[in-house]
A = this chain, B = another copy of it.
Amino acid sequence: MSAGLRSGQVAEAAGVNIQTLRYYERRGLLAEPERSNGGHRLYDEDAVTALRVIKAAQRLGFTLEEVAELLEAGSHRHGRPVAGLQDRAAAKLVEVDAKIADLTIIRTALAAAVAAGCDDLTLCASSACCPIPFTDLAEENRHAGPCC
């Protein structure tokens, strides 16, 4: 039997590129695996799980840097309290909510543009009866005032 998974197998199993494995290793997200005599990486099953965790965290909106910190925080929590998953998740929740709110406004504007039959940006911008709230969108002061 083989003494571990080859990098190609791990990449395949986790659905990532082989280069990405090495990239994560460089970034400190993935532990350095054992090596064969010839220097080939030999992973254990946990590596696949680790990759899934990373990908899940990414999908939760964390950057790779944040993921690295989270893994750090989880593994050796000896010393000062690094803000853990708990706190970061709460903070991220706020971010995600904001993003959803943003997208919802955008959705509304898009839907309105479709409904109104807008077909020319510059025309719309000057026609003043166009449902795209240009200025509201351009500036950061979003309060969804009526346009026309």
- Provide the bound-state CA to CA distance between A56 and B106, in Å: 10
Contact of A106 among B52, B59, B117, B126 (CB under 8 A): B59
Copies of this subunit:
2
- Nearest CB in chain B: distance from A102 CB, A: 8
Interface 9-residue window, one of A1-9, A17-25, A34-42, A85-93: A85-93
B74 to A123, Cβ gap below 8 A?
yes
Residues of A within 8 A of B (CB): 14-15, 49-50, 52-53, 55-57, 59-61, 67, 70-71, 73-75, 84-86, 89-90, 92-93, 96-97, 99-100, 103-104, 106-107, 109-111, 113-114, 117-126, 132-135, 137-139
